[in-house]
Chain A
């Protein structure tokens, strides 16, 4: 009873915290946006270390084979960012549904799955005060700039177990997306100066293919490796084709150790964001980025017929877009847990993550707290 009560209190505390804390996002949301990572709550709690071997994370299509039976999965996140820059600070709060997955078995060795995940989240807003000189008159104004939407990844994938310890998978990716941007400039002297209001709608559409393998050389060790090859990615603004580039390719490898209820996993991932070069202006030139994750899932105290999972992880990566000409590096520490519901037919997972983002040479530091829930239903 006591551990449950403590956990319940902790969850409630995080909810209250998430309701009042606010964060800011312009260090991480440069260019076409911030990459949440396409990770499930389980992998997110382990710092992304299990991404190559996680069926719900749309990274390695071969990992679908681990599911063995069908199900659906829905994930929700709330990120609270704060930024300190140039002696001032501010905060924002964003809410997103970064991942949805549905899968079904095909025969005794195959699985099919479709997933919808966020690749680049371009949701942020800024509010600034400034002075503009018009006809020798200085007039103060408040400018609000807001962007909502994302570049997404819709993946249709399948896996096939060649042997008991080798599963291969392949996937077809579509990259639809939309950004809705609005800008307003309200002058203090509203009698002499009209407000400026404008909006823009940017649409994306691209494609890609992916493949992966899952190999278990010994009973306790699983190795996953996967890659994705990005096809054409087109950007349209108001139905006009503005630019064309390639969707980002990636490759990665991960290793997972499972022994007596304990899981330890590590992953290295390389995303070739530079293939998106030319989609935006030179101010939004992407760079290839490494993503390293390490995490552990430990068997906690026994609760009824089930066991409590205690998860923790660390993650270090580079974000794809430069801030003021400098690379942005993110270091994150995460924790989480999960519990079965409905006699094992459903699972509810939770993670919390604290991240720090910095860019050398830029007088700005960004902190974020992200909380997420994942609900799995497997009839």
Chain B
């Protein structure tokens, strides 16, 4: 009996030890004296000629995809307008259970939400609303801007500075709205927004893409039992392109801007918006055969005198996801990974100048994993307020003097030789 107990104890101990066994090998004491094998040598290199392509790309964001609509009157530096489409309007109402066509209107109003961080005004601001409906293509600046003329004025109001809050309710002329509802098809409202002030002024309307929900409302009857009819934004043209049709529910028009081109420089931001596209040609031994610990893109900023140059600008460096076979730089600059996925954002003041550092080791890690034959090794710099803010930042390109060109500083480890003690 005792012998069995003794054997059982040993057997229990054996099984329990194996079951309870969990290795924990990481010790923290004794290094570096007792850890002589951990000799990791990091090397630095500065690449001067790594840029395969660097250029400024226009056309982003695509018309209608702006998150905010800038309506500005900034003297001779910026004149920006916004257009909203209300292509489906309620044309009938019900009173006392009887359905009836609208024959009179009252309290016609267009309601928009403002991004108050985009409001700039020192004097009362008049928001003018124009009927910009036309049978021709109205998204081009050349066609859209001339429609903002006095006989097309359909509403407006002057706001004191204290009234420029989150929501603007701009009265419309009832008779003109009613004429739209009772006139010939298409019975729709396409409204253009413009600001006037005795001084420089601007507002930023939150677009549908930005989460805004502009509406046009009107009272079809003086009977208080009949509620106002509220119409949301809607676009019914072009009929052959649903994506564009949806995008064009509201969109930005730039009548005049001083910062339309970066020239030989690399531009980010501004109106119309610019992106900088940088394609890299980094030696394979650095990306594929080494472990890159840090990669810093050094750009030399040029002081800019653009609109809102004193406002800091958040820039998103984003990794391009376009295929190597896509040679169109303009299209490549639109196929991007989400912002702040591999590379952190940075804030810059357009008026400042000097060297700026972008930490992009995350991009190099991704490029190493993906390889060099599938995706372009490129990044795009774009403004966080792209298309809805006039501020622009400029950098010297690879065509500048050698000291001012983009450079890439890489800290890497060739190979850690630690297998043999």
Interface residues of A (CB under 8 A from B): 1, 3-5, 7-8, 11-12, 14-15, 18-19, 22-27, 30-32, 76, 78, 81, 83-86, 88-95, 123-129, 132, 134-135, 143-146, 148, 179, 181, 183, 185, 187, 191-194, 196-198, 200-202, 235, 237, 242-243, 279-281, 283-284, 303-306, 308, 321, 323-324, 337-341, 348-350, 362-364, 371, 373, 375
Residues of B within 8 A of A7 (CB): 6, 9
Residues of B within 8 A of A15 (CB): 13, 16-17, 20
Q: Which of A95, A124, A191, A194 has the most CB of B within 10 A?
A: A194
4 pairs of A and B residues whose beta carbons are closest in the complex: A200-B419, A125-B25, A24-B27, A304-B3
Interface residues of B (CB under 8 A from A): 1-14, 16-18, 20-38, 40, 42, 44, 291-294, 296, 344, 359, 361-362, 364-365, 409, 411, 413, 415-416, 418-421
Chain B's closest residue to A362 (CB) is: B33
Please give 9 more A-B residue pairs, beta carbons under 8 A apart, in addition to A8-B6, A126-B28.
A4-B2, A19-B20, A24-B29, A85-B30, A126-B30, A181-B419, A196-B413, A200-B419, A364-B34
B135 to chain A, nearest CB (A): 53
B337 to chain A, nearest CB (A): 15
Q: Known contacts A303-B6, A373-B14; is A124 also within 8 Å of B420 by CB?
A: no
Q: Is the CB of B420 within 8 A of A281?
A: yes
A97 to chain B, nearest CB (A): 10
Q: What are 24 A-B contacts defined by CB distance under 8 Å? A: A4-B9, A8-B6, A8-B9, A11-B12, A12-B9, A24-B28, A26-B30, A30-B34, A83-B29, A83-B30, A85-B30, A127-B27, A128-B28, A129-B28, A135-B409, A181-B419, A192-B359, A198-B418, A200-B419, A202-B419, A283-B37, A284-B420, A304-B3, A373-B17
Residues of B within 8 A of A30 (CB): 34, 36, 421
Chain B's closest residue to A342 (CB) is: B7
Residues of A within 8 A of B14 (CB): 76, 348, 350, 373, 375
Residues of A within 8 A of B409 (CB): 135
Chain A's closest residue to B365 (CB) is: A194
Q: Known contacts A3-B2, A11-B12; is A237 also within 8 Å of B419 by CB?
A: yes
Q: Is the CB of A90 within 8 A of B27?
A: yes
Residues of A within 8 A of B420 (CB): 202, 235, 237, 242-243, 279-281, 284
A40 to chain B, nearest CB (A): 15
Q: Is the CB of A86 within 8 A of B29?
A: yes
Which residue of B23, B30, B292 contacts A194 across the interface (Cβ within 8 Å)?
B292
Residues of B within 8 A of A135 (CB): 44, 294, 296, 409, 411
Q: Known contacts A192-B294, A350-B13; is A4 also within 8 Å of B30 by CB?
A: no
Residues of B within 8 A of A339 (CB): 3, 6-7, 10
Q: Is the CB of B362 within 8 A of A11?
A: no
Q: Which of B29, B292, B413 has the most CB of A within 10 A?
A: B29
Residues of B within 8 A of A1 (CB): 1-2, 5
B3 to chain A, nearest CB (A): 3
Q: Is the CB of B29 within 8 A of A88?
A: yes
Q: Which of B28, B33, B36 has the most CB of A within 10 A?
A: B28
Which residue of A26, A144, A304, A348 contacts B11 across the interface (Cβ within 8 Å)?
A348
A77 to chain B, nearest CB (A): 9
Which residue of B2, B12, B17, B421 contacts A18 across the interface (Cβ within 8 Å)?
B17
B301 to chain A, nearest CB (A): 19
Chain B's closest residue to A4 (CB) is: B5
Residues of A within 8 A of B44 (CB): 134-135
What's the Cα separation between A232 and B5 when bound, in Å? 49
Which residue of A193, A201, A280 contacts B293 across the interface (Cβ within 8 Å)?
A193
What's the Cα separation between A83 and B27 when bound, in Å? 8
Residues of B within 8 A of A371 (CB): 17
